Amino acid sequence: MTTLSKEKKLSDFRIDYELNKLSKSGVDKNPFSEFKLWFDLVLKANVIEPNAMTIATANKDGFPSARVVLLKEFNESGFTFFTNYLSRKGREISENPNATLLFWWREFERQVRIEGKIEKISRKDSEEYFNLRPLKSRYGALASNQSAVVESRKVLEKRFLTLEKQFGENPPIPKNWGGYKLIPNKFEFWQGRRDRLHDRICYEKADNDWKIYRLQP
């Protein structure tokens, strides 16, 4: 068994959650509205990177992978993030558009899991967001062939400097970079509770409405 020290084992680490509770009757009938309530609380609490989310994808053979990205917009049409279309996640999305988002907010003992299908947003919307990014971030996206093997960091830095000299204050959006939107068909709101009897309230798309039910912890 892996241990952190002679005194404490990984199996010894546990917290009894007791900040809040969650009931089927107490949630909004619209999962997007419920998510906004939770997200607004996180924003007001000045949590570091409140929009950080794990996105899990899988390739055509069903082999999964996950990583943390930043949510950049959400509304009732879906949840938007940006990346290189030729990155590992981009390639997997092209093979299998089914994906899951996961938000974990330790300060509130809460997590939200959102399942759905991913599609690209319009090129116009991708360009608008790209041009709002800090200049150095735009060059980072232009310089990096995300997920491709590179000989060294110096190679990336040299490419970055070369592009800066070439384009100055107006770098173009990379052809293979842009936004994706996850369109949900299922939400799960999780609230940590004492004795591991956590609250789990789910919304599942049913025709043009949402079915709401509770899951055992």
Catalytic machinery residues: 196
CB-based contact 25:34 (threshold 8 Å): no
DSSP state of 9: B
The neighbour count for residue 82, using CB atoms within 10 Å, is 19
| C-alpha distances in Å from residue 65, one per residue of 18, 61, 79 | 32, 12, 19
Radius of gyration of the chain (CA): 20
**Across-strand partners of 65?**
57
How far does CA 164 lie from the centroid of its chain? 30
3-state secondary structure of 162: helix
